[in-house]
Structure 1
Amino acid sequence: MRIFSRKLGRLLACALTVALLPSTAQGSPESDATTTVSESRGTVTLDTPGYSVSISGRTGGQLALTTRRSGRTVLATGPEALRFRTGDTWQHTTRLTDWSWRGGVLTLTADTTLAGARIEARLTPAPDRYRLDWDVTGAEATELGLTYDLSSAGHWYGHGETATTSDGPYTDQPWPLDAGRVEAEDFSAASYQMVDPFWFTASSAGLYVDTGDTMDVSLNAAGDGLGRFTVESGSTYRATVFVESTPRAVYRDYIGIVGKPRQSDATYEQYAKPLWNSWAQFYTKVDQEKILDYATDLHDNGLEGHTVQLDDKWESNYGNMTFDPKAYPDPRAMSDRIHDLGYDFGLWVTLWINLDSTNYRYAADRDYLLRDAADPTKPCTVTWWNGTAGIVDLANPEARAWYQGNLRKLMDTYRVDGLKFDTRFFDDHCAGRDGHTRTDYQRLGSELADAYDLQGAGIRVHWSRAAHESGFVTRQIDKGTGWNSLKASVTQNLALSTIGYPFVETDMIGGSLSQPAPTKEVLVRWAQSASYMPLMYASISPVDTIDPTTGQKVDYDEETVALYRESIARHERLAPYIWDQVQHTLETGDPIMRPLFFDFPQDEAGYTIDDEWMLGPAVLAAPNLTASASRDIHLPPGTWYDVSRGRTIKGPATLESYPTPLAVTPAFVNLRAKGADRALRALR
């Protein structure tokens, strides 16, 4: 119902001031702030003490929303700002036809390109954000979407692992996002990619889409400079727009909604030393003799680690959860020998049970598997990289108990210390049991994994409060073995860290993805880079390595071993400083590895740098991620100690053509930052 009659139309230009209601974490109004709403020259403007939102389109054209702070645009919609799909056709808002302001909510009504269909949108302001909820009336919509002009907000970040037109997320992770072309058509809680529906910008705006449905997210995918955030549902579109003074403040606002880690799943030793996993060293061409030779070579060459983990292809069939007797004649003796060398022993496991497994029929007959979405009377089957399988249904308590019983038998019989969980806990081809949603299965997966030592391999759960609060290590999706993948491993860690997963590591040092082994230079540079990250996740050994894709010996020499060993030692010396950052993260939710602009928001150069990062407040890492013999290095404002050259530099400064022979890994300590003394002791 409209609040003002036409007779009072002239008063619409006057400010309407109301006291707002108590604040909540979701962004409802706050009692000590005021807001005003007015209309002038066909534009309705909502003004709060911290920002304003202008809604144009009253006199024709298309509805458009522009958010400003201190008079400067920080976020603006693009063409077809609010759009929806009916049948095979996309429609969008046109003229703003009506508005009202009541009880702290600005309600907007707009016509659309579909006759008889209208959109009703509701803006609920709070001091540092506003809720934007909207619906379609007069038509049956199957998808709803927001469109933003990316350039209105400067550069864009967030999202998580990106599907791109340049083979992301495996070899490409654009930083910032608008520097690439992102097209994620299955962006959801069921995705194998680590993603969250949260984006933030250089203008210190942010967008959180509160949905459990699958999205189609496109950022400059067509080179058009537009961001399209589409929910594949006709239900109410619910979003929060953050308006802050720094990107870090936007990040903290988001963490206030989804939660911060309540613990670190990894132990101090798992931060201090690498995890050695067999996958990229052997892929599936692995057996008992090979894994023991691998562990012995690592030990004898002083390549420290806390665990040797046996990855894919130890089972007789996928899902049997029994060792292949031909490849592993005595698994207990293998485990005992690995322990004798000073390592823990771990196994790769999955909830996916292949159709040719003896366990498949057993599980299917007892309704232990997820059901098919199209026909819930039969088990859901999915195709993955190792065949066709059913998935253990964690929402069935009996299925969960059966699966965990198999795990416990394995661990007790073979002295297995921990597990690497792989594959997803849910798939969109399947139906959730008793109303369980995608995010419910992320929670159930988190609860399952939390009962085991994940040995620093972490787990790939996301999009749920449980995933954020559990404090798991987050391992990246598989990377290639070339320079582009090394570069992507850095920017991907920055992306994951800044959507609320602070305990990050790259894919296995040197990459995997069933590609030929990395060159000596890529392997060394990757190890050097990882030494300045929270954790080191290793596989390819610099000792006596045969490329499993070619069968040829890899040209790694004594220098390769020495430089890899040096990287491990550096990381271990940094462990007390890193552990301090872990404790800070548990208090604040702040990422440990983060972009320069989180600490130096006024330093404009830091917003596009994709090969440097802060490790906590005191350490700036600038390793060489290319085949070049030198690199340029940017230092933000401050007083910096150059670790490699033993000198002090006043920032901001650009160090052009900084020499980076293979033995040099540039890093700098901010002498006035908290933790600088501990960092200096580790790096001098």
Structure 2
Amino acid sequence: MSQRGGRVKLGLLIFIFLVGCVVVAVVTWHFTKRSNENNTSSHTSPQKSVTEMNLGETTIQNNLKIDIKRKTQTVLSGQLWDDKLRVNFKEWSNTNDWKRTATWSRDRKLDVSYKEEGGVPCYQFHWKVTVGLESVLSDCWDIGDAHWYGGFEDYYQPWPLEKMSRNMSAYIVDDSYQKKLGGVQERYFITSKGVGIYIEEDVPLYISINASNDRKVCLQAKYEKYPYQNYKKLLPSLNYHICVSTDVKLIHDFMSRTFIKLRPTDIPDSSMFRKPIWSTWAQYHKDINQSLILDFANNIIRNNFTHSQLEIDDDWTPKYGDIDFNVAKFPNARAMIKQLNDMGFRVTVWLHPFFNLDSNAFTEAASRFFLIRQFDSPLPGLVSWWDGKLAGIIDATNPEAVEWYLNQTKFLQNTYNISSFKFDAGEVNWLPKVYSANFDIPNEYSKHWANLAYKADETVRHQEVRVGYKTQDLPIFVRMLDKDSNWDYTNGLKTLIPTALTFGILGYPFILPDMIGGNAYYTHPERELYIRWMQANVFLPSLQFSIVPWQYDEEVINLTRRFIQLHEDYTETILKLAREATATGAPIVRPLWWIAPKDEVALTIDSEFLLGNDILVAPVLDKGASSRDVYLPGGQWNDVLRGGVKQGGWYRNYKADLHELPYFIRNN
């Protein structure tokens, strides 16, 4: 090849190389540009951090303030964590179209994900601590002008929830009589604006509601020595879901299907719906014996009252924990129960998880390691409860301990023909402050105690329990904790309907109200209170008497018979609704907003309720009142007490004398 030809060929190669470089550069620029414009899964450029997050129509600002929207309307606003976190805030990164992640330079990150099911958008907020066991995670949501429902049993039991003011409290199954978060609870809230909130079970959760009237609901996650002990050195997380529908009824239906899920597998024994339970507790407290029990039963029969069962309550055993009759009080318990059976009574007895130190059963249970143990020790952890200062507590999560306990109940059934049981306590607060057991989540104890109660009578099903946590599937009655014999919201008559409504929203339809007239702890129920309390119970799923009507006068006896009969007249309706609950989870006793979810009065009224969708009950709840204001949602209602048909709206000063109970049937 000539020198000139070589130079030409070399020049051609150089030209081709340069053109190639230009083409590659152009393609690379074009691809990068399109990727930055269209590919939402790419991370934010470090030269320009994105501190505002958008998912759907919801926005989180760079100060971590958030507005959750339905279409263009804000339905919930809040503050994710607090302003201090802005100092170390880095940026949002787009993990994919449905998830965003925020990171901090030191110890935590936040994942926010979005999905839509059946037209209902849901957001999941998942805070994670990456370093440091002592960290606290906290989000606050504005109550705003919405009304809130759900949560837990409460001493004052407000309806809606924003009426209360509660400082930050551990969200554990506790004793509402001590003004703690109550024994029936779920990590579930809904609002009148169609918002639902569900917090995951493994979160070491604390909550405040309208603390110091701040109009906020705050969620907090942290580990402490009590109640969320953390011997496994877990890092705290705050993991919860917020879903949005168009109204409170629709969001309840969605959240119940999606997060509660459990439905009763059957219904309790039908006789407990139909006829009253008679208990010794409020009338006699601990002063019971064989002759008194027989006298109690004879008076029920003599005064011509129906009954489903007679319940022998506190102090029938020799020592607390020894599950047998005290022969000093009951010299021939077998003959007594035979006599009661011959009179037509089924007999139940009071049980609890405690074994006092002086009982024989404590020695046996402790030696077989059936009691909740001290931390990292084979020795039982000793607790204090209302009937003992030193006691062990059954480990309801230990299968062998459960079998042993149930054998004691079978002994009662086989030896004395005891029909069933009233299971008391079971709340987490009765556990030792530091313990070793087969569960990490404290509320698991209450769930296992309720399951133990069910196994004691799973065929006939006429037992009762006073705790509920993820036990909506159990076909047993759940009892309200002891009510006081007063008219007001300090655990008195006015908390009866709000408690029943709360139980139903949380998925517990088989409500056993406490004793008619209350428990007579500080004062005996006056005559008028007793009558009005009885009327308020008539359309609830079951009636429970202890304070006896014959201690008043003949009119009270006759009124009591009449209202018991009214309850029995509607028992088939109640049973139909109970069976419906096994399929749908719908409560038997419903708030007025169940049929009027956008009606402001229906969203707030706490002195009326629905039995199903078509019977509205408006008992008189004020001392000395011979009338009350009655509200009827839209439509036509047959006035059963006064006759005629009424349209929806307010009826002021509706007359209801002491012997009268206002109720209405919807005209369909």
Supply the distance in 2 between the matched residues of 1:328 and 1:540 (Cα, whole angstroms). Answer: 22
Alpha carbons of structure 1 residues 383 and 448: separation in structure 2 relative to 1, 3 Å: same
Supply the distance in 2 between the matched residues of 1:200 and 1:189 (Cα, whole angstroms). Answer: 20
Matched residue of 1:543: which SS? helix
Find out whether 1:493 has 2:500 as its counterpart.
yes
1:44 CA displacement:
2.6
Matched residue of 2:532: which SS? helix
Q: Please, which of 47, 54, 57 is the counterpart of residue 45 of structure 1?
A: 54
| TM-score (norm. length: structure 2) | 0.85
Equivalence for 2:59: 54
Supply the distance in 2 between the matched residues of 1:352 and 1:12 (Cα, whole angstroms). Answer: 66
Find out whether 1:516 has 2:523 as its counterpart.
yes
Q: Please, which of 355, 366, 369 is the counterpart of residue 367 of structure 1?
A: 369
Q: Is the 8 A contact 2:377 2:436 kept in 1?
A: no
Alpha carbons of structure 1 residues 93 and 352: separation in structure 2 relative to 1, 3 Å: farther
Q: Is the 8 A contact 2:374 2:432 kept in 1?
A: no
Identity across matched positions, percent = 28
Alpha carbons of structure 1 residues 332 and 132: separation in structure 2 relative to 1, 3 Å: same
Find out whether 1:642 has 2:639 as its counterpart.
yes
1:215 CA displacement:
2.8
Equivalence for 1:658: 654
1:130-169 to 2 correspondences below 5 Å: 130-151=123-144, 154-162=146-154, 169=155
Alpha carbons of structure 1 residues 93 and 639: separation in structure 2 relative to 1, 3 Å: farther
1:616 CA displacement:
0.2
Q: Name which one, 1 or 2, has greater alpha-carbon Rg.
A: 2
Q: Is the 8 A contact 1:493 1:504 kept in 2?
A: yes
Equivalence for 2:608: 612
Find out whether 1:349 has 2:341 as its counterpart.
no
What amino acid is the match of 2:602?
G
1:228-627 to 2 correspondences below 5 Å: 228-233=218-223, 234-256=235-257, 257-373=259-375, 375-387=376-388, 388-424=390-426, 427=431, 429=433, 431-435=435-439, 437-453=441-457, 456=462, 458-464=464-470, 467-484=471-488, 485-512=492-519, 514-544=521-551, 556-627=552-623
1:248 CA displacement:
2.1
1:432 CA displacement:
4.9
Supply the distance in 1 between the matched residues of 2:49 and 2:666 (Cα, whole angstroms). Answer: 50
- Number of residue equivalences: 603
1:342 CA displacement:
1.7
Q: Is the 8 A contact 2:40 2:97 kept in 1?
A: no
Matched residue of 1:640: which SS? strand
Return 237-246 or 509-518, whichever deviates more: 509-518
1:198 CA displacement:
0.8
Matched residue of 1:412: which SS? helix
Matched residue of 1:644: which SS? coil
Supply the distance in 2 between the matched residues of 1:14 and 1:505 (Cα, whole angstroms). Answer: 61
What amino acid is the match of 2:153?
E
Supply the distance in 1 between the matched residues of 2:547 and 2:507 (Cα, whole angstroms). Answer: 29
Flag structure 2 segments of 5+ consecutive residues without an equivalent.
1-29, 42-47, 176-181, 224-234
Matched residue of 1:361: which SS? helix
1:214 CA displacement:
4.7
Alpha carbons of structure 1 residues 287 and 205: separation in structure 2 relative to 1, 3 Å: same
| TM-score (norm. length: structure 1) | 0.83
Flag structure 1 segments of 5+ consecutive residues without an equivalent.
1-6, 19-38, 84-89, 163-168, 545-555, 673-684
Q: Is the 8 A contact 1:263 1:469 kept in 2?
A: yes
Cα-to-partner distance string for 1:92-148 (whole Å, 9 max, x where unaligned): 55675312333454223155xxx8344323323223222211113344444322211
Equivalence for 2:161: 177
Cα-to-partner distance string for 1:639-660 (whole Å, 9 max, x where unaligned): 1001101110111x10000111
Q: Is the 8 A contact 2:464 2:476 kept in 1?
A: yes
Q: Is the 8 A contact 1:66 1:73 kept in 2?
A: yes
Find out whether 1:218 has 2:208 as its counterpart.
yes
Q: Is the 8 A contact 2:55 2:98 kept in 1?
A: no
Cα-to-partner distance string for 1:13-65 (whole Å, 9 max, x where unaligned): 978789xxxxxxxxxxxxxxxxxxxx999643211xxxx321112xxxx3112
Alpha carbons of structure 1 residues 607 and 456: separation in structure 2 relative to 1, 3 Å: farther
What amino acid is the match of 1:463?
Y
RMSD: 2.7
Alpha carbons of structure 1 residues 364 and 9: separation in structure 2 relative to 1, 3 Å: farther
Higher helix proportion (structure 1 or 2): 2
What amino acid is the match of 2:149?
Y
What amino acid is the match of 1:468?
Q
What amino acid is the match of 1:46?
L
Supply the distance in 2 between the matched residues of 1:210 and 1:355 (Cα, whole angstroms). Answer: 37
